[in-house]
Amino acid sequence: MQKIIGPENQVHYGVWDSPIEFNHHDFTLLDFFGKEIKGLKKKFAFHSFNYLGIMMEDCLVGIAAVSLGYAYNVFAYLYKFDQGKVYEFDVKGPDLGLALKFPANPDEYEISFKKGKSFLNIRKSHSEGKLLLDANFGNKLEIFGEFPYSLLTHNPLRVLNPSEPSRWTFTEKCSPLIPDRISVKYEKKELVRNLSNTTMVYDWSGGYLRRETNWYWAAFSSVLPDRTKIGANFAALVNESFFPENAYWIDSERQRVNRCIFDFSHKDPYKPWRLWDEEGRIRLEFEPQGERREKVNLIWTKLYFRQFVGKFSGSFRPEKGREVQIKDVWGFTEFHRSLW
């Protein structure tokens, strides 16, 4: 198992299809002029987050745990396709490792959060080949799921990239994950109607991100009428210089995409988005239907993001095999700006 940080502070950038030792504590963080950053300043510079998006036949759920070193955020929301966003849970606090425990190890971890009667537990093990989810948000939204998930069976995209000359970010994306067992209840009513049509988008990221971090993001997952499993993750404004974090999956076979272009109106982001690449591998249109947004404007930190839910249509052209067409597949897009 290779360490991501080697001798002489060398970061082993690349695409990681094998297990890693996430020895981020061995990294020497440097400022603009090459002076070492230590103590709390280094701790506060390390950020990590885990996002899970669960797609069902008539609704979806977004769940996130975010650790910024100095503050944490745990949120979840339920979006019903015919009603819009019907429930949202959002808790923030000082990141002291009390309410939220977020170990930095993308291969083997157990994230745990507890606040009052609300809790979130995410346990993932690539060596055991599974991901477990157990959550209760406000005694209204209850989720339990068991998902097969491993490096060999699901071929996630895992890339380690420079954030800037003295910083780096590791990210792991995969879609779709299909549950062995799952229950999603809102106000005690079961929302999962068909296990075989329930899918999940997975995103884990951690590292010393830029002080000012921006991105565009899109992801979705589905089981098509012909039982083809399809999923995708695309991003822009981050990681283009080394190893892009763009890929789509057809029946768990990963197809990497060099660069994804996000074409949408900032003035009116509810107009259709276009996503495409220069090689013609992807041609997608996204129709926003609703959103979750947040705006924070403090002296030491700023955040502005809008995460949209909506429907993707278009095509994928893999290197080998037939072209895959999709229509009205639900998923997420987002534009995000942060000063952290």
Low-confidence residues in the chain, pLDDT < 50: none
> What pLDDT does residue 299 have?
81
In degrees rounded to 5, what are phi and psi of residue 41? -60, -40
> What pLDDT does residue 300 have?
82
Instruction: Give the alpha-carbon dihedral of 173, 175, 180, 186, to 10 degrees.
Output: 90
> What pLDDT does residue 216 have?
97
> What pLDDT does residue 116 have?
96
> What pLDDT does residue 251 have?
95
> What pLDDT does residue 142 have?
98
With H, G, I as helix, E, B as strand and everything else as coil, classify residue 276.
strand
> What pLDDT does residue 4 have?
98
Assigned token pair, 177: 């994950």
> With contact defined as beta carbons under 8 Å apart, do 212 and 237 qualify?
no
pTM: 0.96
> With contact defined as beta carbons under 8 Å apart, do 55 and 222 qualify?
yes
Q: Where are the beta strands (DSSP E) in 82-164?
A: 84-94, 100-101, 108-115, 118-125, 130-137, 141-148, 157-164
* Rounded distance between C-alpha atoms, residue 157 and residue 256, angstroms: 8
Q: Which residues of 210-233 are buried (b: 16+ CB within 10 A; e: fewer)?
A: beebebbbbbbbbbeeeeebbbbb
